[in-house]
Amino acid sequence: MTDLFDMRGKTVLITGGSRGLGRAMAQGFAEAGADIAVVSRKLDACEAAAREIEKVGVRAFPCACHMARWDEIEPMFEAVWSHFGKVDVVVNNAGMSPLYPTLPEATERLFDAVVGVNFKGPFRLCAVAGERMFNAGGGSIINISSTASINPSPNTAFYGGAKAALGVISQAVAAAYHPKVRVNTIIVGPFATDVAQHWPDPPSAANPRLTVSGMRIGAPEDIVSTALYLSADASRYVNGAQIRLDGGGWGMGRARADAEPIS
């Protein structure tokens, strides 16, 4: 069974790979033997992450790209392909989810920025990577969505809409490049990344796995096994799927007051 999760000799491109869930996935893939392309807006952050990843004994390539800028995406992908000679896995992880006070106060600039990073850019990367990987023999694309796509709040309306649209294009791209390229979606709930400190109900200081009100949230490393599964031969017959990764409690009521602390 371990051979089904072996990533040695594979190349993985991760957008938003310098921090948060992207950084956790980059580390997890590297520890499974994959070479990593770390992509984000800031080259210095990519370079710092790449240096740490290389300590595992794999190759890492830092590459700057703003995922809301259509014209930057194909050159970024070609730079990664040229560096490694191939790309086996693409993880569309880069995203942004700024809150706004009320629906009328949401600005057009904020709307365009959120839709650009969470939908427009991932669509373009899916198209560019899917076509190239299909012609080269195959690959896997993982799109990182959010529970806001299925259970949105008033102040995540267009973020949830963009993530819902990402789930739709995942299925369309899966159909376009089937059976050589598999395209699947991970629908994530709240995770204890640096962004969580800006929530109205952030993780508690005493326990970063719980919000102040007591709801459980994920640690960044909790996403690694699901991403690894969807990238490896273990999921070779999984295509067009959407996997919900939120601990099962979000939208199902508040945590019990007498629940045991999470270590």
Cβ proximity of 116 and 94 under 8 Å: no
Q: Which residue has the tokens 């669509």?
A: 123
Reading the block at residue 252, the tokens are 């199902």
CB 143 within 8 A of CB 126: yes
Length of the chain: 263
Residue indicated by tokens 């809409």: 161
Q: By C-alpha distance, which of 14, 148, 123, 140 is closest to 89?
A: 140
Location of structure tokens 């992509």: 39
The CA–CA distances, whole Å, from 54 to 13, 38, 47 equal 15, 11, 11
SS3 content of the chain, % helix, strand, coil (to 5): 45, 15, 35
- Quickly tell me which residue has 């491109």 as its tokens: 13
Strands 89-92 vs 11-15: parallel, antiparallel or unpaired: parallel
Structure tokens at 243: 């996997």
Q: Under a CB-based contact definition with an 8 Å cutoff, are residues 152 and 251 in contact? A: no
Active site residues: 159
Q: Which residues contact 89 (CB under 8 A, 6 or more apart)?
A: 10, 11, 12, 13, 29, 34, 139, 140, 141, 142, 231
> What's the rounded Cα separation, in Å, for the pair 205 and 160?
28
